[in-house]
Amino acid sequence: MGKKSRDKGKRGERLLASFLRDEGYECRRGVQYAGGPDSPDVIGLPGIHIECKYVNRLNIHAALKQSMKDAKEGEIPVVFFKRDREDWRVTMQATDFMKIFREYDASVNVPPMYLCFNCGGQMIWDNDFSYEDYGIEGEGIVHTLHCRDCGATVEYYVDCGGEEDGKNG
């Protein structure tokens, strides 16, 4: 690879790191710090192995194969690529995309009772207790949750007493 091509690759890595910083992530070129041939081109997205390509003609299959080969166990291999005067794009295996999408989907499709009354963030389940644990007469469950964003807590009381068929009374 010629010097001009290497320089363009480094420029692409700096541009990508800058783009990701603008998106709120502390990213930087990886090779200058890690130095190994299998180190990511850009680091700072936890769990993601980034191969960066700043070219007008790209063999995406070869680039993704390289990212897959270099990724450490547990990292999702991706290829960020850009042509002159175009926006960044990203390619990954469909199964890896679905892993990421499932996490996203679970975070946005939260039933309203699991949204924080204080900040609107997602409430996370902490524990379940019986009414007896709380010194309450009757049969029931107390669900405790906390907000992952602001730390607010909430308790839901579910009365399980009632008729013999188990329906609430």
pLDDT (tens digit per residue) in 13-35: 999 999 999 999 999 998 755 55
Q: Is the pLDDT of residue 42 over 80?
A: yes
Amino acid 169: pLDDT: 33
Confidence grade of residue 165 (pLDDT, cut at 50, 70, 90) = very low
Q: CB atoms < 10 A from the CB of 60, how many?
A: 12
Mean pLDDT value across residues 153-160: 89
Amino acid 152: pLDDT: 94
- Give dist(CA 26, CA 2) in Å, integer: 30
The answer to whether 54 and 81 are in contact (CB under 8 A) is yes
Across the chain, mean pLDDT equals 86
Pick the CATH number of 110-159 from 3.10.50, 2.20.25, 2.60.40, 1.20.120: 2.20.25
> Is the pTM of the predicted complex or chain greater than 0.75?
no
CATH, domain range 3-103: 3.40.1350.10
Give me the residue spans of the domains in the chain: 3-103, 110-159
Q: CB atoms < 10 A from the CB of 67, how many?
A: 27
Say which residue the tokens 């200058």 belong to. Answer: 32
Q: Which two tokens stand for residue 36?
A: 């190994």
